[in-house]
């Protein structure tokens, strides 16, 4: 069973976090927008307070769909963006918001906008050796706000992901290509990228040009930037 919590009033907005983290990551964003949206945060399978779900991308998305409100705005950050794109091909949503995300995370001969697969494996392997320490170091490179950093570090320690979920998430990140599905979507799409993001190269803004992406002076966590807006 997946954990979710709903706060606020207004149109339904659902938040999907990235690999290794949990939905507490969005608390500051929720506080900022809870008077404009009815916001549901969800812990991905095996992350935070959610139980493991067997399978991969489709099985994870099917479980998430079970608890989604009707016709929501769907925001996906990083791995959550891949899930959001896939969900948008399965059910009706009113808007798709991708934050530091892409329909294909890994570079190949036909896709120049991803991270090198070997570099990604080195990055993820380093994190898996000590997930808590690795994630804390990662977020420390994303924000200099000490209060914000302390809150993020507490959520990392309090709600660790399972080994099964980490392995499933990596499999999804390494082997999912939703480029064709993304191009066929017929919903409003909003994109926010980080100028200094080392996982999602900012040059993907050239590919996203039809969606007129917003580029913030930030790394892989643009929603922590004061200028981030929905």
Q: Catalogue the active-site residues.
A: 78, 197, 220
* Partners of 189 in the β-ladder: 96
- CA 62 – CA 65 distance, rounded (Å): 5
Q: Which pairs with CB-CB distance under 8 Å and at least 24 residues apart come from 224-230?
A: 224/28, 224/142, 224/143, 224/145, 224/148, 225/194, 228/29, 228/99, 228/192, 230/13, 230/33, 230/36, 230/37, 230/75, 230/97, 230/190
Backbone torsion region of residue 71, taken as left when φ is above 0, otherwise alpha when ψ lies between -120 and 50, otherwise beta: left
Nearest to 176 by CA among 67, 45, 6, 59: 59
Residue 81 CA from chain centroid, whole number: 5
The angle at the Cα of 94, spanning 93 to 99, to the nearest 5 degrees, equals 85
Burial of 207 (0-12, 13-18, 19+ CB in 10 A): middle
């Amino acid at each position: 069973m997946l954990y979710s919590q709903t706060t606020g009033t207004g149109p339904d907005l659902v938040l999907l976090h990235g690999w290794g983290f949990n939905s507490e990551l969005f608390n500051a964003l929720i506080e900022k927008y809870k008077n404009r949206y009815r916001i549901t945060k969800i812990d991905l399978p095996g992350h935070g307070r959610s139980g493991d779900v067997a399978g991969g991308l489709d099985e994870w998305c099917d479980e998430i769909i079970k608890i989604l409100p009707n016709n929501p705005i769907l925001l996906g950050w990083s791995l959550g963006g891949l899930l959001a794109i896939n969900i948008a091909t399965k059910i009706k949503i009113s808007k798709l918001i991708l934050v530091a995300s892409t329909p294909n995370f890994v570079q190949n001969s036909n896709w120049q906008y991803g991270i090198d697969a070997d570099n990604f494996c080195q990055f993820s392997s380093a994190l898996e050796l000590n997930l808590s320490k690795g994630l804390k170091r990662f977020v420390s490179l994303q924000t200099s706000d000490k209060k914000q950093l302390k809150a993020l570090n507490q959520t990392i320690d309090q709600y660790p992901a399972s080994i099964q979920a980490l392995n499933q998430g990596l499999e999804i990140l390494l082997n999912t290509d939703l480029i064709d599905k993304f191009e066929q979507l017929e919903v409003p799409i909003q994109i926010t990228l980080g100028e200094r993001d080392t996982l999602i190269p900012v040059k993907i803004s050239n590919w996203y040009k039809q969606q007129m992406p917003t580029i913030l002076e930030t790394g892989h966590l643009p929603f922590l930037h004061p200028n981030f807006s929905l």
